[in-house]
Structure 1
Amino acid sequence: MVRGGGNRPLIIDIHGHYTTAPAAHQSYRDAQLARLEDPSLPAPAPAAISDDAIRESVEHNQLKVLRERGGDFMLFSPKASGMEHHVADPAIARDWARACNDLVARVVSLFPERFAAVCQLPQTPGGGVGDAVAELRRCVTGAGFVGCNLNPDPSGGHWTSPPLTDPSWYPLYEALCELDVPAMIHVSSSCNPATHTLGAHYLNADTSVFMQLMRGDLFTRFPGLRFVIPHGGGAVPYHWGRYRGLAMRMGLPDPAEALLGNVWFDTCVYHQDGIDLLTRVVPVANLLFASEMLGAVRGADPATGVAWDDTKQYVCAAGLAADDLRQVLEGNARRVYPRLDALLTAQGR
C-alpha cells in the first residue's frame, strides 16, 4: 500500500504487540517453564507454526483494525506482558526472546507493507546485558528489525535493577548507538500483587525512568541514544511542572533542555482530554503516534462510542496544525527510527 495522494501523511503506529500469536507459541513457553520446575522433562523446541496460522492470527486482529481505522503501518513487537523477564534462567530468556522475535519477523515477511519489527531482549533479574546486545545485533543486522523494547525492571515490579543511568547498561547503549536504533522503555508482567501490570506497573515504569534520566548525564555520554517512553509518558506530562520544579530544586537542568533531544513520548492515551493535555505540554517534535493495539485496553468508551485505543481519532481532534499533525502521524517516526525510514523509502513511500 502506497501513501495516499495529496497532503495525506503515511499514518505510522509505532507501538503494536503480537498479542494474538497462535496458541502453539504459548504452549512452547509453558513447556519451557514446566522444564524449569522439572529438569527431567525434555528440552522443548519452538512451536512449528504455519504461515497460514500466522496470517489468520494477524489478518483478523491487528491488520483488520489497522485498516478499519485508516492506519497504514505499524511497528510490531512481541507481547509485552509475555516477555516475562522475571524468569531468572538466562538460557530460557535467550531461547524465548529468539522464538518471539523470529515469530514477529515472520509476520513482517508476510505483510512487509504493513509491519516492521521491534525486538524483545533476553533480560533477567540481576543479569548483565551481554545476551541483550547479542540478540539486538542478530535482529537488527540479520533480520531488519528497526528498534527494541528495553525493560528497566526485569524483576517484574520489585525494582531490583540499577537505574538506566548506571554504567552496567552502557554496553547496550553503545550497541543501540552503533546500530542507530531507538529503544522503547517497556516493562513486562508484574510479579508484585500490589502493582497491577497494565494499570500501575506500566505507567509507574514510564514515570520512574523519566526521573532516572533527569538525575543522570546519560545523553552527554551517549548523545545519539534515543528512548521512546510509551503510554503518553505515564504521569510525566500531567505533572510537567513538578519535574521542572524538582529539577530546579535539585540543581539539575530543565528537562525540556536536557532530555527532549533524546526522549520521545507516544500517544497511547485513551481519552480526548488526555491527548489534548499531552499535545499542549509536550512539544510536537517529541510526540509519536501510537495505539498499543491490540493491547491493554479493548472495547469502546460507552460515553462516546469510540474505541479506547483508537488514538488516531483523539490525535486528529486535538487541534494540531496540519504540519504538526503530519509530524506526529509520520514525520517524527521516520526521524526517530531511521531504519524504518530507510525501509519505507525503499518501498517508495
Structure 2
Amino acid sequence: MRILDSHFHWWPRTFFEQLCARKDFPKARRNANGGYDYWRKEGSTGLLNLEPEWFDLETQFAYMDRLGHQVDVVCSIGPLSIHFSDIPAEEGRDAAMQWNEEMAGAQRKYSGRLWASAAVPLVDTGIALEVLDHAICKLGLMGVNLPGSVGNDPRIDAERLEPFYSRVAELGIPMFLHPTDAVFQDVLEGYDGALHLTMGRVMEVSVAASRLIFSGIMERHPNLKIVMSHTGGALPYQSGRMDKNGARVRLPHPPSTYMKRMFTDTVSPHSLGMKFAIEYYGIDNVMYGTDYPCWDPAAALKLLDELDLSDTDKEKLFYGNAKRILGLRAPAEACVDQARSEPAHI
C-alpha cells in the first residue's frame, strides 16, 4: 500500500548546531544520545529532549521502508515553530529563511517522496509576509506552519495578523496548526513533563483553533486551509459547547461549521480517538499521520487496522486525502504553478 504520512518531523542538524552556539535563551545543547536538548527560556522544563533520528532523514526513511509499505512524508515543524517568534524580529526572519532553505533542499533531494512546509516568524507582520512569500513563491515549499501562540502571546488572532492570513488564503496553501510549549507549560509543570505533554499541548492547539474561529478569521477567509494536528485536539469532543457558548460571538454560522472546514490527522494513541475524528470531520477531511519520531508509525498502523475501514476509505485516509487537501505536486510542477502569483509583499 502507498502511504502519505501527513504529520512527520525532520529537523536540520545544522540549524541546531547554530542554536548550540547561542548564548541567550532560547538555545540548545548536544545531549548524550547524539541529539539535542532545547530550552525556550531560563528555568523551563526541557521538554524537547531529542534523539538522533530527528536529524537524519536517511535513518527515518530506512525505518519507514521496514513497515512494508511505500511511505512518503509531509514534513512540518511541530512544537519548534514557536522558536521563530521567540527571538527578535530580524533574527527570527533570518532563522526562518535558513530553516526554509534546508526544507527546500530536502524537498529537492527527495523529490516526490518528501514535501516540506515553511517556518514563519509572527512578531512582525511585514516580516511574516516577506518570509511567507519567499518560502512559497521562491523556494517552492508546499505550506506554512502556525504555532499555537506568538511567543508567549496566545493571540494568534491579533488584528495586525489579518494580512498574513489573507495572503495564506490567497496562495491556497495549507497552514499546519501545531501546539508548542509556551502558554500552558508553566501552569501544567511537574511530573517530568507528563502533565503538559498529555494536556497542555492539546489545550493549546484547541484554544488556537478556537481563536481562528471566534475572531471571524475563518469567516472572512473561506479559502483558508487549516490542518489541525492531533485529531483536532479537544475540539471535536466539545463541539456542542462551542456552538452553545459561541453564539455570543454572533458569527453567521455556528462555530462547529467552521471547525468542520478544518482538516486533521490520525495522531491519537487509541483507536477510538481515530474513529471519532473520522466520524466527526468525515473521511474526506482526515489524513493519515504519525507524528514520527514522536510516535511509532507501526503502532499507528496497528490501531488503524482496528477500525475495519473499507478499501475505498483506506485509499482516502492513507494517500488520496493528503494529496488532494495539501495540493501535493512534484516540486518542479509546484514552482511553475506558484509563479502565477507575483510576490506582493517582498
TM-score, normalization: structure 1? 0.75
What is the aligned partner in structure 2 of residue 25 from structure 1?
15
Deviation at 1:79, TM superposition (A): 5.6
Q: Which structure dedicates a bigger proportion of its chain to helix? A: 2
Deviation at 1:141, TM superposition (A): 1.3
Gaps of 5+ in 1: 1-7, 38-52, 298-306
What is the aligned partner in structure 1 of residue 91 from structure 2?
92
Contact 1:293 1:309 in 2 (8 A): no
Deviation at 1:36, TM superposition (A): 9.4
Distance 1:32 1:204 in 2: 30
- Alpha-carbon displacement from aligned partner over 1:286-323 (angstroms, at most 9, x marks no partner): 2121111112x4xxxxxxxxx47742332343122322
What is the aligned partner in structure 2 of residue 46 from structure 1?
none
Distance 2:332 2:284 in 1: 20
Gaps of 5+ in 2: 28-51, 335-346
Report the number of matched residues: 301
Relative to structure 1, the CA distance from residue 345 to residue 75 in structure 2 (aligned partners, 3 Å threshold; closer, same or farther) is: same
- Alpha-carbon displacement from aligned partner over 1:24-47 (angstroms, at most 9, x marks no partner): 43121132444999xxxxxxxxxx
Match of residue 61, structure 2, among 60, 63, 66:
63
Relative to structure 1, the CA distance from residue 35 to residue 11 in structure 2 (aligned partners, 3 Å threshold; closer, same or farther) is: closer
Relative to structure 1, the CA distance from residue 99 to residue 309 in structure 2 (aligned partners, 3 Å threshold; closer, same or farther) is: farther
Relative to structure 1, the CA distance from residue 65 to residue 246 in structure 2 (aligned partners, 3 Å threshold; closer, same or farther) is: farther
TM-score, normalization: structure 2? 0.76
Deviation at 1:249, TM superposition (A): 7.6
- Alpha-carbon displacement from aligned partner over 1:95-143 (angstroms, at most 9, x marks no partner): 22122222222222222132011111123xxx23221221111111112
Match for 1:322: what amino acid? D
Q: Does 1:149 align with 2:127?
A: no
Distance 1:211 1:183 in 2: 15
Contact 1:176 1:225 in 2 (8 A): yes
Distance 1:244 1:116 in 2: 36
Distance 1:248 1:178 in 2: 29
Distance 2:64 2:114 in 1: 11
Q: Does 1:336 align with 2:334?
A: no
Contact 2:26 2:83 in 1 (8 A): no
- Alpha-carbon displacement from aligned partner over 1:27-74 (angstroms, at most 9, x marks no partner): 21132444999xxxxxxxxxxxxxxx99982111x2123222324211
Distance 1:135 1:183 in 2: 14
What is the aligned partner in structure 2 of residue 50 from structure 1?
none
Root-mean-square deviation (CA, aligned residues, Å) is 3.1
> Percentage identity across aligned positions?
20
Match for 1:99: what amino acid? Q
Runs of at least 4 residues of structure 1 off by over 6 A?
53-56
Q: Tell me which moved more, 199-208 or 263-272.
A: 199-208
Relative to structure 1, the CA distance from residue 246 to residue 284 in structure 2 (aligned partners, 3 Å threshold; closer, same or farther) is: farther
Relative to structure 1, the CA distance from residue 325 to residue 80 in structure 2 (aligned partners, 3 Å threshold; closer, same or farther) is: same
- Matching of residues 62-211 of structure 1 within 5 Å: 62-69=60-67, 70-78=69-77, 80-81=79-80, 83-85=82-84, 87-123=86-122, 127-156=123-152, 160-164=153-157, 166-190=158-182, 192-195=185-188, 198-211=197-210
Contact 1:77 1:104 in 2 (8 A): no
Relative to structure 1, the CA distance from residue 11 to residue 36 in structure 2 (aligned partners, 3 Å threshold; closer, same or farther) is: closer
